[in-house]
A and B are shown apart, each in its own frame.
Chain A
């Protein structure tokens, strides 16, 4: 009876099942008399409010979707007209052309040249819409376009239209993710998506949040480990007077652990680098040795950062063994799976992260291999539901009023170190809706297949050499131009020359705009290319194109060309 009344009076959508109505009621009203009073009042306010909105002095009502007739004037205001014109450019240049192989990856100019052709300067007066639209086109013209299936320079690439729509909608509503009150839909989506990601990892319970990038997600791991060990004491009193707290991470791991150690007051010397094997994986025995070492120095080992998908080699640390060690020494195990975490979406590749469910926390950037627009970095926590809140909360009364009328557990903003926080959940949620788990799995499989195909081709091709067998979708390789092929490859001289090849080819590829791949030296290995597959639109033909193109760019290199490259140590 009361449920029916509630439906009628509150105008609760009919899609809402009975039990929810009852739940709603039980929260709000204790008896029927109050129920009637409450519902009548609410109904009254809603009707009145609707009238107020309709009677708004600013103009007559307009039908939904009737774009042209909206607003107070017969035509769109200047800025709305600009927006409409700009949207055409965005669609043509930013989507259709940017993702087309026949568009250059970049129209490269040196900084000074770019300043000459592009009007960066800001003046007292406004520019005309025409000038602005021209500037928009130029912005596309001179920007690097990661949407191009031949962009392989970073851990992110491609352009997913569902993600893009999600991002655009987020932008148009310009929400901040701190409370249910200002971001009702987005807050619920964050809950749903975080839960989904946790389940995929294998955390049965827990917590999580989206961060502005993987580096900060890793710092959250460190901070929670510290808070777990020392409790609210460390939050209020800081690190003063404590022994040195030691953080472990592998020598191949990402620099964010060191940056975090400096920023969070531990000091970079408190980061002990653990040795890796030839594939770039952390050696558990060396970790154990270094834990004993720290203890003998009187320090306190408290945190191990395992990497699933190292930045250069794409190596996966052996999580099960590391979890054993962490359990034995009562240490927090965090997994930096920013890059490699997306492998868990695929039944074929999730074994790379075997044991991940035993970790205490994890960082995973969906804006990398899952192709979500920048940025989308989840920090996930196993168990410990209240830990994030307790470690970070400040309880500001102007945002988190305790006398709000709705369930405040949806106000998640006090779990983080930010205040305003960009909504990163919606775009991922929309992509999940569009593709389902299965669609994501397929895409991840394509990316891995491309990397394996590429490695095979490298082995078959003259002048190409793998640095290491691929594990993740990173493929690290040298190109050896004809002028070096007859040299003895075991000499320092050969290595010195080889290190100069990648910079020259990179310069040529950027200037011609046909391809973009990164390079770097690593632990005594001279500069090599690091090819990343994270665009689902890249095909086997593209993979073969890469080899042809590098050969085309580099086969005329001479020793004298190479000798012009400054080696990193020369200043």
Chain B
């Protein structure tokens, strides 16, 4: 055989990483071996340990000078490279730490990580079966499972580079579904205004998508929400009527399951009724909240999601899959994705290939090469089973409810809203503000300055990371996210104690200095 007759062979058999005789490895493979030890120690074991700081914070100017960032004509030696690798890990934020709560993603799943690392070594692109046979079949398997969980009987789908693009796919499907091939060839310029609807608390990707895809941000109508952050169906109907009166065409509704800040779930069933009545495409942006479907206890939050036309779901958020892993699913219309996006490049999708071409999924997307995001999720499913995932989701929800309860009992803490998803939004009121009239403007102004100061202190101390923001007329409040299954009730109590420690000596004059 031609491969075994190859002239380059030095047979290597390796059982133990450490046992490989260095003589048999090339210099760069030896580097890799050493780097792997660092990654395991610093990037895995220490990064996930509570005794490691969440971040070793330096201001940008300082970090720039501390860290040798500059690229030069000549390469540096192996020792220097390994040192740079250690420094990179040292000064990076450790989202694996069970006290990192800053984003919708957190934690580090060993199985997901192995999946990701293997994907990287194989370095495959998802364009067709020829290039990534195993991964193509896994993607099919996983998308089928996600569809079943959503409750779609027949479906199509794909993994996207993030939830924003998954939402844009929803818009793209809706447009093509209504206007067919003509919209693909002729574009929007000769059409009446097509209107997209989403709630006031929805994610900004709908608006970004509207700009990027040629609709314009003004053609996104924002629907009012109730006090818990849920879209009000009556207001949606009012705005649909309004758009029609204006001579525009209502095209698309994006319902949100798990809003970014409050974690609210729009009433999908009621919205589906309206969409059916007015013949509008219903997309569900469940990027954050869909993982609740994995739990028998919490899946009721998405009641009616099976009636939607398409859904975006990021398993890299609450399911803890390494970044990024975002699924777009579309109900019924099996060929729609292909028709919307295909261009039929002959160099990739040769029609005279010797295998079944339905496995060549690459022409369904707007990308060409596409990173493999299915394998890590598939491996996690294998490692945990449905039951394991369900348990993890239940833990995350339980933590959020425990924090809400702790906050209610604790002086100086106040919930902004009762939690629905695993978001817990709350204010910390330092002692210096506790005697003020809470309805006064002055109080609210000062309260809005608390979170930035506490945040600065927590970053510099490295004990904790939680995000904050204002919303509507509410001054800055913390948004605590639970999406790490390793976070415990003790951690939850630590959060409250730690914020109190960081903030209880804040004075009115400290608050006055802040912009």
Contact = CB atoms under 8 A, between A and B. Distances in A.
Contact of A139 (B118, B188, B189): B118
B31 A156 contact: no
Interface in B443-470: 449, 452, 455-457, 459-463, 465, 467-470
A94 B28 CA distance: 14
A195 to B, nearest CB: 9
B469 A267 contact: no
Contacts of B324: 420, 422
B239 to A, nearest CB: 18
Interface in B31-65: 31-33, 35-37, 39-41, 43-47, 49-53, 55, 57-65
A82 B469 CA distance: 39
B44 A45 contact: no
Interface stretch (A59-67, A378-386, A479-487): A59-67
Interface stretch (B130-138, B226-234, B396-404, B407-415): B130-138
Nearest to B359: A111
A344 to B, nearest CB: 15
A122 B462 contact: no
Contacts of B47: 172-173
Contact of B131 (A154, A165, A214): A154
A4 interface: no
A182 B216 contact: no
Given A110-B355, A418-B164, A503-B354, A373 B469 contact: no
Nearest to A127: B382
10 contacts: A80-B44, A84-B40, A126-B382, A139-B375, A169-B43, A172-B113, A236-B211, A255-B344, A263-B168, A522-B347
A311 B356 CA distance: 24
Contacts of B433: none
Interface in A450-468: none
B16 interface: yes
A20 B469 contact: no
A391 B1 CA distance: 57
B314 to A, nearest CB: 8
B59 A172 contact: no
Given A80-B44, A184-B93, A398-B479, A96 B367 contact: no
A161 B28 contact: yes
Interface stretch (A140-148, A201-209, A321-329): A140-148
B22 interface: no
Nearest to A192: B69
Interface in B197-217: 203-205, 207-217
Contact of B122 (A20, A140, A180): A140
Interface residues on B, range: 35 or more
B205 to A, nearest CB: 6
A24 B59 contact: yes
A437 B73 contact: yes
A420 B105 CA distance: 10
Interface stretch (A289-297, A353-361, A505-513): A505-513
A111 B137 contact: yes
A100 B12 contact: yes
A99 to B, nearest CB: 8
B472 to A, nearest CB: 10
A557 interface: no
A46 B189 contact: no
B508 interface: no
B2 interface: yes
B339 to A, nearest CB: 11
B359 A82 contact: no
Contacts of B343: 255, 258-259
B118 A568 contact: no
A256 B343 CA distance: 9
Interface in A416-432: 417-422, 426, 429-430, 432
Interface stretch (B80-88, B274-282, B328-336): B80-88
Top 7 nearest A-B pairs by Cβ distance? A265-B214, A49-B461, A238-B216, A267-B187, A94-B121, A212-B161, A172-B43
Contacts of B36: 87, 91, 165, 168
A100 B133 contact: no
Contacts of A255: 343-345, 368
Contacts of A122: 141-142, 145, 378, 381-382, 385-386
Interface string B491-504: 00000001001100
B232 to A, nearest CB: 22
Interface in A237-259: 237-245, 254-256, 258-259
B431 to A, nearest CB: 17
B8 A403 contact: no
A473 interface: no
Given A58-B50, A244-B189, A568-B351, A91 B32 contact: yes
A331 to B, nearest CB: 18
A162 B27 CA distance: 11
A500 to B, nearest CB: 8
B72 A235 contact: no
Nearest to A199: B71
Given A102-B9, A401-B469, A549-B2, 13 more contacts: A20-B61, A53-B53, A54-B51, A64-B46, A126-B383, A135-B382, A140-B118, A184-B92, A216-B161, A238-B215, A373-B120, A374-B124, A514-B1
B459 A46 contact: no
A161 B31 contact: yes
Nearest to B160: A212
B154 interface: no
Contacts of B15: 88
A438 B502 contact: no
A375 interface: yes
A518 B40 contact: no
Nearest to B69: A192
| Residue among B1, B35, B52, B207 with most chain A CB within 10 A | B35
A62 B51 CA distance: 9
Contacts of A196: 71
Contacts of A49: 53, 460-463
A469 to B, nearest CB: 19
A263 B366 contact: yes
Contacts of B152: none
A36 interface: no
A430 B68 CA distance: 11
A273 to B, nearest CB: 12
A132 interface: yes
Interface string A169-182: 10111111000111
B204 A419 contact: yes
Interface stretch (B178-186, B298-306, B434-442): B178-186
A406 B60 contact: yes
B476 A103 contact: no
Contacts of A144: 122, 124, 130-133
Contacts of B463: 49, 52-53
A351 interface: no
Contact of A394 (B53, B135, B183, B207): B207
Nearest to A52: B463
A520 B350 contact: yes
Contacts of B131: 144, 153-154
A108 interface: yes
Contacts of B238: none
Given A80-B44, A182-B93, A184-B91, A263 B118 contact: no
Given A61-B51, A126-B384, A403-B452, A234 B216 contact: yes
A123 B188 contact: no
A122 to B, nearest CB: 4
B33 A142 contact: no
A49 B456 CA distance: 13
A560 interface: no
Nearest to A403: B452
A121 B92 CA distance: 37
A432 B108 contact: no
Interface stretch (A10-18, A274-282, A489-497): A10-18
B132 A162 contact: no
A559 interface: no
